[in-house]
Amino acid sequence: MVIIGAGIVGCSLADELTERGWTDVTVVEKGPLFATGGSSSHAPGLVFRTNGSKALTEFADYTVRKFRGMDLDGAPCFLPVGGLELATTSERWADLQRKHGLATSWGIGSQLLDPLECVELWPTIDRERILGGFHTPGDGLAKALRACEAQARRAIARGAVFLAHHEVVGIEQRGGRVSSVVTDQGVLPADVVVSAAGLWGPRIGRMAGVDVPLLPMAHQYAKTTQLAELVGVNDERHELSRPILRHQDADLYFREHVDRIGIGSYAHRPMPVDLADVPSSAAAQVMPSVLEFTAEDFEPSWQDALDLLPALQDTKVEEGFNGIMSFTTDGMPLMGESRELPGFWLAEAVWVTHSAGVARALAQWLVDGQPDTDVHECDVHRFEQVQLDTDYVHERASQAFVEVYDVLHPLQPAERPRQLRVSPFYPRQQELGAYFLEAHGWERPHWYESNAEAAEGLEVPERGAWASRYWSPAAAAEARATRGQVALYDMTPLKRLEISGRGALDFLQHMTTNQMAVRPGTVRYTLLLDEAGGVRSDLTVARLERDRFQIGVNGNLDLDWFLRHAPADGSVVVRDITAGTCCVGVWGPLARDLVQPLSRDDFSHKGFGFFKAKHARIAGVPVTAMRVSYVGELGWEIYADSDVGLRLWDALWEAGQGLGVTAGGRSAFNSLRLEKGYRSWGTDMTTEHNPFEAGVGFAVRMDKADFVGRSALVEAAAEQPRRRLVPLLMDQPEHVVMGKEPVHTADGSVGYVTSAAFGYTIGRSIAYAWLPADAAAPGTRVDVEYFAERLPATVAEEPLFDPEMARIRR
């Protein structure tokens, strides 16, 4: 195999692969070794591990653990000085408290410090400027270049070859697979190629015919002249003794360089770099990834640095540069094997911080078939087509740069570009005052302002400031109307596939956990597992005809998974039908009263049973109706072609006026589904969980013939789960949390929250959480940590609402 690029990612990957026995590895690098001229050659190496993403935190933690145990000729690859993040505003201070919770959830040791304690760690800080700090003693500084060489030496000792001054100029394929890498020095045959080319990733991608949606951006870094108080404190070997430091309110970070201070700034205007303008090694003044320092862009940051660290008044900026690094539209790396060109893999847009963790996960993926960390947030196939457009990548990645240190709410939608994808119901949603959030380019109503008035009379507990953002009491009225009368939910943005052909049934039997050999007209809830038995997705599969199935999936990764596994003989056709169709969920006790008068088809309980599907006409519109409900009420998902969607919505809306029909958004939907205990894949469960502990074992038919992941489940199916996903009911109804908060028992921090919402029907605040089995029994008292406060809660029996399913089966 060939790895392109000997930066921190390429070197780490060579080490991880050779350690796993893949020793026929060649790393090609266009620059010299190991100061190649890429981003790793100039990275100051700060490693702050705590991140909203569990996967990124785990990657960073592995990087620290690995580099801490490594040296290069006795010089350490990691300097464990700790990390300190400061708050100078109350908003940031609240965010650091939240971050302390995140760190605890993901197992990172941390503490909140008062200003005096911060100054004890960093005496240069102006104590009057700060409100407090978040201290992570296990963070520190990675010496990226040393770590590159140390890992490369290990790989070389196991048989890997590193070729300097070999520029990749082409990728060749044969028989639909990658076959070789063409360099300016000759051709290297390869069955597997990993592009770890950093900011040059899109160029390598083009050679392989693969979109690499990242944007190279300049980011400023400067060093001061000598700071008197540091003289004699550090030496060349231990360049720093104080924690690496973040002052995010001014988009700044700091570290010591022996007796100087290094300052990184994200405060400047976004400076996207055209790859054509990145100089070659020969033409570069310093190195290809280093552009000239634009001092005027740094000036405001320098003033902010002086405000925080007044002792810098006696210094000045001695040197600086505009370094180039990669940004993606969602701030996450790009990992995985291209489907367009099998054998061609990506490991790109990776920080030094996450480098070893990403390399380990990719090596596991290559060697064992899947990583043990869930990487769906990093998978290169996560994007929809509209998200791969160059202008989109440019705009979103530039915004990601601006927001890199911002306090971001988990629901906060991107402001631009918007209205990329809208359902046929969009004009009506606008008329009803929909408040839209965005997902995968889709505009999705979160609530409707038209329902705010109806909420006025309802008793909705006051929630905290954070949980009040991107929320409206209108959601309470929508939830109430769903349980009381009938509501329309736009389900169009949820991806749906058609799988058809003479091999379709066998294919689905093999791919999914539930029994698919059912009568046409039957719907099944089922799972996709990976080979290790982890939950890759959950699906609803409707067998519409003998050889035709419609499948509700969780996104592009499911499409990718099916396409990869589909037999090559043409017996199975997998088609994404999302764009040409739409879906309205009609749910509530009056759903039948709404739908039946509009149709000559039988929508009675007898004529249209639970988990059944049929073609029908509603108000003259040809539809496929499925009697399923993610909110726990009588009703149907009604699918139609997009062109007749608006007519369908209008007909239902008009006919529903006498029944109190209401439009419902995602906010109400989320509350209703949690009352019923319905899982959301990616949030509540991932590949890291098996179906039994996740509470979806009912969808696994171990007695069915073999299916992907079955053999890995045999043991788990016979055992009691060691952990469980369970609902917590908060003691106080106003205690609404958001997800990812740590859960404590007397034994300490034992788990974390996945999804949370106020349950408007049960009048209680709900938080689903992963807990060890011995803390998961109903009645167990726990605390949820929220903004550094302990909120008491109790593990409850699920489902929290209508356990007899009486409301759905009528």
Instruction: Find the shortest distance in angstroms from Cβ 739 to ligand FAD.
Output: 26
Asked if 751 is part of the footprint of ligand FAD (rule: CB under 6 A), the reply reads no
Task: Sort strands 71-72 and 548-552 into parallel, antiparallel or unpaired.
Answer: unpaired
Asked if 150 is part of the footprint of ligand FAD (rule: CB under 6 A), the reply reads no
Asked if 264 is part of the footprint of ligand FAD (rule: CB under 6 A), the reply reads yes
Query: Toward ligand FAD, which CB reaches closer, 323 or 501?
Result: 323
CA atoms within 13 A on the CB side of 215: 27
**Residue 752, token pair as written in the block:** 């974390």
Which of 18, 36, 364, 581: binder of ligand FAD (CB under 6 A)? 36
Q: What span, in angstroms and rounded, lies between the C-alpha atoms of 423 and 642?
A: 8
Which of 6, 77, 422, 523: binder of ligand FAD (CB under 6 A)? 6
Query: Toward ligand FAD, which CB reaches closer, 198 or 493?
Result: 198
Q: What span, in angstroms and rounded, lies between the C-alpha atoms of 432 and 429?
A: 5
Query: Toward ligand FAD, which CB reaches closer, 41 or 578?
Result: 41
Give the amino acid at 467.
Answer: A
**Residue 137, token pair as written in the block:** 């003693």
Neighbours of 468 (CB within 10 A): 12
Q: What span, in angstroms and rounded, lies between the C-alpha atoms of 155 and 11?
A: 8
Q: Which whole-number Å values give the CA distances from 25 to 179, 356, 411, 513, in the listed order?
A: 14, 17, 43, 37
Instruction: Find the shortest distance in angstroms from Cβ 194 to ligand FAD.
Output: 11
Asked if 7 is part of the footprint of ligand FAD (rule: CB under 6 A), the reply reads yes
**Residue 762, token pair as written in the block:** 């049960």
Neighbours of 539 (CB within 10 A): 26
Instruction: Find the shortest distance in angstroms from Cβ 296 to ligand FAD.
Output: 17
What is the contact mask toward ligand FAD in residues 296 to 335, using x (rule: CB under 6 A)?
A: ---------------------------xxx----------
Query: What is the radius of gyration, based on Cα positions, of the chain?
Result: 28
For the question of residue 406 being annotated catalytic, the response is: no
Which of 16, 22, 25, 37: binder of ligand FAD (CB under 6 A)? 37
Which listed residue (62, 253, 266, 426) is catalytic? 253
Asked if 472 is part of the footprint of ligand FAD (rule: CB under 6 A), the reply reads no
Instruction: Find the shortest distance in angstroms from Cβ 218 to ligand FAD.
Output: 7
Instruction: Find the shortest distance in angstroms from Cβ 611 to ligand FAD.
Output: 47
Residue bearing tokens 């990869």: 564
Query: Toward ligand FAD, which CB reaches closer, 6 or 332?
Result: 6
Identify each DSSP E strand in 530-661 by its residue range.
535-545, 548-552, 573-576, 581-587, 613-618, 621-626, 635-641
Give the amino acid at 724.
Answer: R
Query: Toward ligand FAD, which CB reaches closer, 290 or 434?
Result: 290
Q: What span, in angstroms and rounded, lies between the C-alpha atoms of 793 and 455?
A: 27
Which of 5, 243, 555, 585: binder of ligand FAD (CB under 6 A)? 5
Asked if 371 is part of the footprint of ligand FAD (rule: CB under 6 A), the reply reads no
Instruction: Find the shortest distance in angstroms from Cβ 769 to ligand FAD.
Output: 31
Which listed residue (490, 538, 560, 576) is catalytic? 538
Peptide bond before 34: cis, by omega within 30 degrees of 0?
yes
Instruction: Find the shortest distance in angstroms from Cβ 3 to ligand FAD.
Output: 9
Instruction: Find the shortest distance in angstroms from Cβ 190 to ligand FAD.
Output: 13
Residue bearing tokens 């990675």: 142
Query: Toward ligand FAD, which CB reaches closer, 320 or 677?
Result: 320
Query: Toward ligand FAD, which CB reaches closer, 39 or 387?
Result: 39
Residues 6 or more apart whose CB falls under 8 angstroms from that of 26 comprise 1, 2, 3, 160, 161, 162, 163, 188, 190
Asked if 82 is part of the footprint of ligand FAD (rule: CB under 6 A), the reply reads no
Q: Which of residues 182-211 bind ligand FAD (CB under 6 A)?
A: 196-200, 204
Question: At what angle are helices 352-368 and 8-19 packed, to 10 degrees?
Answer: 40
Residue nearest to ligand FAD (CB): 7
Query: Toward ligand FAD, which CB reaches closer, 323 or 635?
Result: 323
Burial of 401 (0-12, 13-18, 19+ CB in 10 A): buried
Query: Toward ligand FAD, which CB reaches closer, 29 or 576?
Result: 29
Stretch that binds ligand FAD, among 29-37, 561-569, 672-680, 693-701 (CB under 6 A): 29-37
Query: Toward ligand FAD, which CB reaches closer, 251 or 538?
Result: 251
Residues 6 or more apart whose CB falls under 8 angstroms from that of 465 comprise none
Asked if 39 is part of the footprint of ligand FAD (rule: CB under 6 A), the reply reads yes
Stretch that binds ligand FAD, among 41-49, 432-440, 449-457, 730-738 (CB under 6 A): 41-49
Stretch that binds ligand FAD, among 31-39, 120-128, 565-573, 742-750 (CB under 6 A): 31-39
Q: What span, in angstroms and rounded, lies between the C-alpha atoms of 299 and 249?
A: 16
Asked if 691 is part of the footprint of ligand FAD (rule: CB under 6 A), the reply reads no
Neighbours of 548 (CB within 10 A): 16
Which of 3, 4, 102, 613: binder of ligand FAD (CB under 6 A)? 4
Q: What span, in angstroms and rounded, lies between the C-alpha atoms of 267 and 284?
A: 26
Asked if 44 is part of the footprint of ligand FAD (rule: CB under 6 A), the reply reads yes
Residue 770 bridge partners (DSSP): 725, 752
Task: Sort strands 260-265 and 271-272 into parallel, antiparallel or unpaired.
Answer: unpaired
649: DSSP letter: H
Which listed residue (100, 135, 219, 446) is catalytic? 219
Q: Which of residues 637-676 bind ligand FAD (CB under 6 A)?
A: none
Please count the residues of this chain forming the interface with ligand FAD, following the rule CB under 6 A. 39
Q: Helical H runs in 87-246?
A: 90-105, 115-121, 144-157, 201-208
In three-state secondary structure terms, 575 is: strand
Which of 113, 168, 240, 481: binder of ligand FAD (CB under 6 A)? 168
**Residue 48, token pair as written in the block:** 């702050």
Asked if 30 is part of the footprint of ligand FAD (rule: CB under 6 A), the reply reads yes
Asked if 508 is part of the footprint of ligand FAD (rule: CB under 6 A), the reply reads no
Which of 3, 14, 46, 125: binder of ligand FAD (CB under 6 A)? 46
Q: What span, in angstroms and rounded, lies between the C-alpha atoms of 734 and 669?
A: 19
Asked if 252 is part of the footprint of ligand FAD (rule: CB under 6 A), the reply reads no
DSSP string, 95-140: HHHHHHHHHHHTT---EEE-HHHHHHH-TTS-GGG-SEEEEETT-E
What is the contact mask toward ligand FAD in residues 215 to 244, using x (rule: CB under 6 A)?
A: ----x-x-----------------------
Query: Toward ligand FAD, which CB reaches closer, 61 or 576?
Result: 61
Contact 79, 240 (CB under 8 A): yes
Phi-psi label, residue 397: left if phi above 0, alpha if psi -120 to 50, beta otherwise = alpha
For the question of residue 219 being annotated catalytic, the response is: yes
For the question of residue 268 being annotated catalytic, the response is: no
Asked if 436 is part of the footprint of ligand FAD (rule: CB under 6 A), the reply reads no
**Residue 615, token pair as written in the block:** 């073609």
Instruction: Find the shortest distance in angstroms from Cβ 383 to ligand FAD.
Output: 19
Q: Which whole-number Å values give the CA distances from 558 to 250, 438, 539, in the listed order?
A: 40, 20, 9
Q: Which of residues 338-367 bind ligand FAD (CB under 6 A)?
A: 350-353
Query: Toward ligand FAD, which CB reaches closer, 4 or 626?
Result: 4
Contact 742, 104 (CB under 8 A): yes
Q: What span, in angstroms and rounded, lies between the C-alpha atoms of 93 and 85?
A: 10
Asked if 278 is part of the footprint of ligand FAD (rule: CB under 6 A), the reply reads no
In three-state secondary structure terms, 464 is: coil
Query: Toward ligand FAD, which CB reaches closer, 351 or 653?
Result: 351
- The residues that are catalytic are 219, 253, 538
Residues that bind ligand FAD (CB under 6 A): 4-10, 28-31, 36-40, 43-46, 167-168, 196-200, 204, 219, 221, 264, 289, 323-325, 350-353
